[in-house]
Structure 1
Amino acid sequence: MKRNFSCIFIALLSFLNVHSSVYAEWQQEKDSVAIYVEKGFALLNNDLSKALKILDRADALAAASNDPGDRADVAYAYSYAYYVKGTYDLSLQQYLKAWEIYRKTGNKLGEAKSLVGQGLIQQGIDRNEEAIKIFTEAIEAYKQSGNAARANPAYLNIAISQIEVKEYEKALANLQTALELSRKTGRIDVEHLALNRMAQINFFRGKYDTAKELYFRILNHENPPSNWERSFAYAGLAEVYSAKGNYVQAEEAGIKALGFSKDLESLWDLERNTGILSQVYKNQGKTNEALEYLELNQKYRDSLYNQTKLRAINLLQLESKEAENLVLQSEKAAVEKQLFTNRIFLGILVLAVLLLLIVAFMFRKNIRQKEQFNTQLQNKNQTISEQNQLISRQNEGLSEMNEAKNRLFSILSHDLRSPLASLEQLLGLIKSGDFTPEEQASLLDEMLMQVSGTSVMLQNLLNWANSQLEGSKVNLEEVDLPQKATKIVKAYYLIAKRKNIEIVQQQTKNLPPVLVDRGHISIVMHNLLSNAIKFTREGSRIYISFEEREETVLMKILDGGEGIAPEKIEEIKKFNQRMISEIGTRMETGTGIGLMLVKHFLAINQACLDIKSYPGKGAEFIVAFRKA
């Protein structure tokens, strides 16, 4: 709690020059709100009572003019005065009042300054995380106002809260930003405050010489610091000297700091400085002086605690009242709107009610009978409707199963006839014995290719039939994509070798697994690799590579064929049914089911397919799987 009250005066001094540009256009007037407000700000560090009297004069002028800008500026000045005095509840009321007027009049700069003040209240009662949020919101408001450089007090106060929670590195970064902006805008007061806090951080870290240098830099600055800045700097020097064992110098610095704090009537400074002096006298062996300042320190400490507790309670009550007022205002507006509507339609409503009463009285018995009859009829109709829906769903299921069965038999009868006939012819030729051993070996190779193609076709037909008859069930699990591809490639080694095709798979490391059904991904890879071998020229290569994206992992299969016509690519992407299969480079045929299966299983696994063609060089099939 001790350090939090430092925020009060640091924040106050950081805004003393804010109004210099806002009120410049009124300087020629001898008796104006702007003049009195500026004078009041100038006296806040030295004579608070006199400053309040001047602000009372400004308030009277603002009430007489009834100008929203004047009223907001006076409320903003009062908020600082109450803030210095230590009455947080009144200070927050004025900040909220000023903020509301600035917001309604579209004064973004005024909104930003009022937000900084609200953040200071939160900071003063140890709600540093909440204060940082409000200061950050103020920085954004400064940017929207076109005065981003004037956000230096907000950066300074963010740093103060970060010091309280011991985030020194973040605090130093924000202090450096505040220092740079203060030099751009000519804010000497903010520069002094930032240097004071940098010195304090160095003291906390045990860098006493650096802290001492920074404190003297403030005290010897070409632009003299304010009384509070002197008090803070001398108190800091007293701590540095005491830590280094230079108690005489520590005593001198502490007495100077105490003198400035008495002029300021700052409880926090008085408590801090008496505590430092008590410790200095104790280290010197001056027991009486040490006890004297210890008693004063305890007095100020008790006063701080009691006032802080009371202010925190007042703040919570004020927040509750503000919320209650907002609710009441909203309810009031709703009631007024409703009353306006009622006045317009009151006569119509009265006539309508009378008419309804007469009709209800005349047809009461008839209506009851109709209601009973309608209820019974509705119940019966609902029962019939439910039964019809059940029968309809069952018929649709039976129809789909019957259609799938017919499609399965049609495909089996059509697509098995051709390869079996070819095998029968080849066996007949071999049996005739009219061929040399070399020709027989060639025929056996041809038979092997036919058997392999037929096997792949049967597997695809079975997969397709299963998905049609039983529905597609997905069992998602993590799958290592390169490892799975390696297994599939091995299965096609001999088939590729017979066409003198080399399959080159990219070696990858740290590729994340994908989320997919392990059986479905096997079907997809088998069909894509089989398709690539089918259309790759003899002696060419097939490349398999992988690429990690933000949410997906890509598998790319690039064949060594002639590419695919654009219209064929569109056909593959658009149609979800069996297509006419193209002839391969060695006259291989297919069923046209493979790519249909690929698209089907990719869709139910939430993966997608893309196709790119490089005329004369090949076609690339790209599959995007979700990361696990």
Structure 2
Amino acid sequence: MKQLFIYAICLSAIFSFAQNAKIDSLTVRLAYQNQDSTKVETSLLLINELYKLQDYNKATLFIAQTSELSKSLNYTKGLAETSYIQALIYDAQNQQNKAVSNFELARDYFYNSKDTLGLAKVNNSLGVIEIERGNYTKGLQNSLSAISIFEEKDLKEELSKAYNSLAKAYFNTNKLEEALLYNKKALSVREELDDMKGMKNTLKNLGQLYAIKKDYRLSIDSYERMLKLLDKEEDKNLRGEIMTSLGKSYLAIDQLDKASDYLREGLDYSKANNDESGILKSLNAYADLNTRNRRLKLAENQLYQANELARKLKNDEELLYNLKLNRDLDEKRNFFEDAYNWQKQYFALKEKLDQQKLAEKAIPTREITEPKTIETPLISPEQKVNKDTLIDTEPQQSKKNTLLIYSLIAALVFAIALLIFSYLKGSKDSKEKKQFEKKNKKLAAKNMQLEEVNQVKDKLFSIVSHDLKDSISSIKAFLDLLKDGGISKEEFNDLIPELSENANNASSLLFNLLNWSKSQMQNLQPKPELFNIQEVFQIKISLIEKKVNDKGIILIDESRREFVFADRSMLEIVIQNLITNAVKFTGKGDVITVSNQDYNGKVLICVEDTGIGISEENQKKLFNAKKNFTTIGTENEKGTGLGLTICKDLVELNNGRIWVESTPNIGSKFFIELPKAALQE
């Protein structure tokens, strides 16, 4: 390996020396030549060598000198070639607007000198730029016009570039068969050129295309051929990506053992190289594999990590895949409500991505005009003047002037008539417009109100349904045990009090939900009344006693008899959500304390826990309706991310406020401040 490395360095040094010697030789030759077309040709050879070495500053200097000499000699070829190479330099420097202008100028010169090869090179370069910009139709037109000439003259380098750009354009316009065809052609040419980098890229493209077409065997073949070309040191990140892609293809044909080997290796490579994008793709694919193998807990952890990473990297495509996998996982675990939430997020993101793709396709393309006829290279296309417009006789000019005067008078009369008509019509339209705008404002206000109601309704049902699910699932579990003979009738009779309590809890929740929705959903106006907050605490604590005992949590009730003026149904939902959250984020030995006290003439309610706490960054997200922020509990309990948002809505509707004080690993305190009596108008 060491000998090969030294050999490569030697070859590079020899090649560099040879190139520098060639440049020196051309520079010396140029200095002794006369100011004629031969000097232009020598200068063009030198410019090409400098361009290959990426010495763009020197190349640009010689381009300016050569262009001036070509103009003085009326040498169209020199002007065409200098414009073309200058455009290539601008393109390499990502100055695409300047590149396009120079390509168009070069094309005009090539057209006038009837240089079909020059025209083809320019058209292909313009095609590549338009494809890079996303103007695929325009790019295809330009590149396709160049292909036949390159094929006829067997120009491998140009064909490689043209085939590759056409393949990309067809892929991005969803013409997969054409994309496959031109990728295959590109691979064939690049193999002839021994272009290792080009071969790797094309094989990767083929692997991706076959996977999209569900030809997974061919996809695997392309990726495995590519693996053989990868350098272990130079292509570490690429190797990790291809291992993951191979794993996904084997996964698609249910060869789970091979899929596991490749996915594991892909994840190891990505972690070793700290390639977050590769880690994300590997975690998603690995989670898919583990879901199929019924390793659901492992799949859940991997999907959680991948979800956070996708959002951090703003990788919407992988996030979409992650949401689909989360949905599939929860369906497998019979967590149908959670699966429904993932499904909603999936379709919302998919719609957003589809709209973005449509918007990209709708971006207006820059029109590339047909080549211009240039009468003399001395005059640039921008300076060209049509001499016919300067030669005219006086009688002709006089007739034109008379016609112009009549035209102006007719235009003036028409404009006055139009103004009068517009004024008369405008006064009538103005009244209709005002009435129309008034109706629109009313409709907009009504729509906004309906939308607000729908949002609160959706959030509310998501929260309450979680609690209903727990109670009903518990009842169903006991009944299933009895049906399957898991417990005797005597043992079942002993459980009847607990079943009755669960049924009462579910009934109470349903009653509160239906009562609240019936009375409040019309206009979101609370129905405040005076009620004892201690009673609410006692009822809500009874609902979560079993969960508290199961987790080994200590719950302390320090509430006291005190009257609050608020909508009781609304506040019950808030209190239940805060207590449930406290249970969710505490573990064995932790303490939850509920209390209330008089504070500045108002009631201050507090739900405190000694759980895992909340970071300062996450505290800012808790009450934000747009963030839909959620985290996993101490026993991997999952939430909707909507609870505290609806709590904030309901508290504020009752002229109160809600806030949090928390320290990570120490605990959290949620406070609610509410009036003790009706507010004076």
TM score, norm. by length of structure 2: 0.32
Specify the structure having the higher radius of gyration (Cα): 1
TM value normalised by structure 1: 0.35
